């Protein structure tokens, strides 16, 4: 069995050896002090993240899918990021999703042995018909999870874009993936509890990957999420406020614009700014891959 004690994420943190013997406030300060290191670790990986986003954008605009693969906490992190892209940016769930070692049930409880199965990862990717258009983002704090390594290896075989998100430098996943993103956050507050700093770093990275790809793909206008799906009262209010803020109209007029646009913030903006009907607004958006700034210029 491989010795994992040499991995950064598995080493013992000397600053928290007494964490079970201090008062609550001191305990929390120790956790907070460690958390402060995460953003700095992610900052060092920005060039790699940028490289990944540029390649992701090309594939996503050409119909490629964003597929996260992982086990345990890492797998849940990827699935969470993918799921949020639908309400936030109106991305079809078939274009961004997570694959968990052990399947959907593993989201809620540990499935013993699933992360050790290389065959399971291959089958999961075959089941979704992975192609060379797609993007496979493997997430594992250690960088050595067999399921996730196998997902990247199979991704390479079909010429998908493969990206490794780990928290150990020079990991096996880093060697397999086309692009390696590895914020090294150091030993955890509780030794080996990688749902803490490593998990936070992973969330920051996948948020950057997906958000920057959505921005580059025209899902954002200025810094507004104009492709939001107004599927509940809160989101309807948010969408209406966006239209009011961008166009300068009052709330009531913004709400009428939203309704007239078939509940599309982007179309509502075009309708107001260019005095066109909803059909012309939607057609302009389709011609510009949803980019509001380009549609405004064309109209």
Active site residues: 84, 115
E strand or H helix at 165, and its extent? strand 161-165
Mutual orientation of helices 197-216 and 24-43 as an angle, nearest 10°? Answer: 40
CB 125 within 8 A of CB 99: yes
- Checking 59-62 for CB contacts under 8 A at 24+ apart, the result is 59/133, 59/134, 59/135, 59/161, 60/95, 60/135, 60/213, 60/217, 61/217, 61/289, 62/133
Q: Would you call 249 helix, strand, or coil by DSSP?
A: coil
């Amino acid at each position: 069995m491989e010795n994992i004690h040499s991995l950064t994420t598995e080493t013992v943190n000397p600053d928290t050896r007494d964490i079970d013997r201090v008062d609550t406030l001191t305990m929390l300060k120790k956790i907070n002090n460690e958390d402060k290191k995460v953003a700095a670790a992610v900052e060092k990986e920005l060039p790699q993240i940028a490289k990944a986003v540029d390649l992701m954008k090309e594939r996503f605009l050409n119909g490629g899918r964003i597929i996260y693969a992982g086990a345990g906490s890492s797998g849940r992190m990827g699935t969470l990021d993918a799921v949020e892209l639908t309400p936030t940016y109106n991305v079809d769930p078939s274009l961004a999703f997570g694959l968990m070692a052990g399947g959907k049930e593993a989201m809620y409880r540990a499935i013993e042995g699933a992360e050790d199965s290389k065959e399971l990862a291959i089958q999961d990717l075959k089941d979704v018909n992975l192609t060379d258009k797609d993007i496979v983002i493997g997430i594992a704090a250690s960088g050595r999870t067999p399921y996730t390594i196998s997902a990247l290896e199979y991704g390479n075989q079909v010429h998908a874009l493969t990206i490794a998100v780990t928290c150990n430098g020079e990991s096996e996943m880093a060697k397999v993936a086309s692009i390696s993103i590895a914020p090294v956050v150091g030993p955890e507050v509780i030794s080996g509890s990688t749902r803490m700093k490593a998990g936070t770093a992973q969330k920051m990275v996948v948020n950057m990957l997906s958000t920057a790809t959505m921005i580059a793909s025209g899902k954002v206008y200025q810094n507004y999420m104009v492709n939001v799906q107004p599927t509940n009262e809160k989101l309807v209010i948010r969408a209406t406020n966006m239209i009011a803020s961008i166009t300068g109209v009052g709330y009531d007029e913004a709400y009428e614009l939203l309704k007239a646009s078939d509940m599309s913030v982007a179309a509502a903006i075009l309708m107001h700014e260019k005095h066109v009907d909803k059909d012309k607004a939607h057609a302009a958006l389709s011609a510009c891959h949803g980019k509001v700034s380009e549609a405004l210029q064309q109209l």
